[in-house]
Amino acid sequence: MSAQPEMPPRTAMEHRTAMQHRTAVRVHPELRPAFEALPEFSDPYEDIEGTREGFHAMLAAVPADRTGVDSERFEIPRADGSALTVEVYRPEGGASSGGGEGAATGQDARTADGGAGRGLPAVLHFHGGGYALGRSLPGQDRTAIALCRELPAVVITVEYRLAPEHRYPAGVEDCYLALEWAAERADGLGIDPARIALAGKSAGGGLSAAVALMARDRGGPAIVHQSLCVPDLDDRVGADEAADAERTDAEGSGAEGADAEGALSTRVTTGRGVQRAWKHYLPEGMAVADAYAAAARATDLSALPPAYVLVCDLDPMRDAGLAYARRLMDAGVPVTVRNVPGAWHGFELFAPETRVAKEMTAHWTGQLRAALYPVG
């Protein structure tokens, strides 16, 4: 039998086209129109202030529907004299935070809790955005509003300090401070202190996992559930891709090949993009992240609260999320896992009306509701 002739090496453009085709085939059919309409992806850190301003302008263009929800902002003093801002969302007619320890929980809270009058469960919601952006406008956190209405629950959003101006551990310490504040003032906030959960997407999922570790290690407030949606919790994600890209750039192969990570390379988050976020979040000179920066680095995951881990098929953080879920299981922690086939990181922002997006949201919201309103 004659030997097969060697195929000539692919050019960078040919490699990228082939990768695009393979990835496009994997995109969920219902999501393909949104995928094909995705805008060109750019490095948000090139002008982080401009990126934040653009994000807020987008939010301001379509104000959130606050029907049935009230909110109130608070300033929590930090040890250095500065203040952390949190916003407390609650169903209309629920408890007023200004009522002190004797505050009534409100008819909505009593009804939702079967008449027990213990107050509503609470969700500390940590926003995503690569640890560098993603903060909602005052009173406009759509996720908090939806959870407040649908669970129902008191939802506390945390305006943690952002990188790169404030690198680790500033952001996660802010989130833990908010947890302590909420637990200490549970009565006045109309919260049942036995039903406090942590929730977040992307960087917010990473912060939720880290705060759960901190609460365990520091003997802090009890947490009944951690909801980790497409969590960014491992600083090693994308390291090989970033290194390959740097080598390609150094060898002068051209921009075509530098980002040849597949069809998503110029559209949404890739491993190289994840590495950019960690580069700006971790302190300069930190060679290895610790467990409160990247929860996947923790060596002991025992005695943590039950977890929900959601991943997306085309997300570079998928495997790290699944690995963390498996390690939680191995440590004896109850875990529910869901993968969204054919979806990329943050797809629901571009295709919110698709069945795929609605089913994903309904599933993680339902799991959070089940944790906060257990049967029996």
pLDDT, position 24: 58
- DSSP symbols for 121-138: EEEEEE--STTT--PPPT
Closest CA to 276 of 131, 134, 77: 131
Kindly give the pairing relationship between strand 69-77 and strand 83-91.
antiparallel
Write the DSSP string, 224-283.
SEEEEES----TTTTHHHHHHHHHHHHHT--HHHHT-S-TTTTTS--HHHHHHHHHHHSP
What pLDDT does 101 receive? 34
Cα separation, 136 vs 139, whole angstroms: 8
Q: How far is CA 177 from the centre of its chain?
A: 18
| Residues acting as catalytic residues | 202, 315, 345
Q: Work out whether the CA dihedral 168, 172, 178, 179 comes out positive or negative.
A: negative
What digits encode the pLDDT tens for the residues 268-324?
889 999 999 999 999 999 988 999 999 999 999 999 999 999 999 999 999 999 999
Residues lower than pLDDT 50 in the chain: 1-22, 96-116, 253-263
Query: CA-CA distance, 359 to 335, in Å (whole number)?
Result: 19
On whether the CB atoms of residues 296 and 234 are closer than 8 A, the answer is yes
Determine phi and psi for 162, rounding to 5 degrees.
Answer: -105, 145
Indicate the length of the chain as a whole number: 376
Both tokens of 153, joined, read 């629950």
* Confidence at residue 328, expressed as pLDDT on a 0 to 100 scale: 98
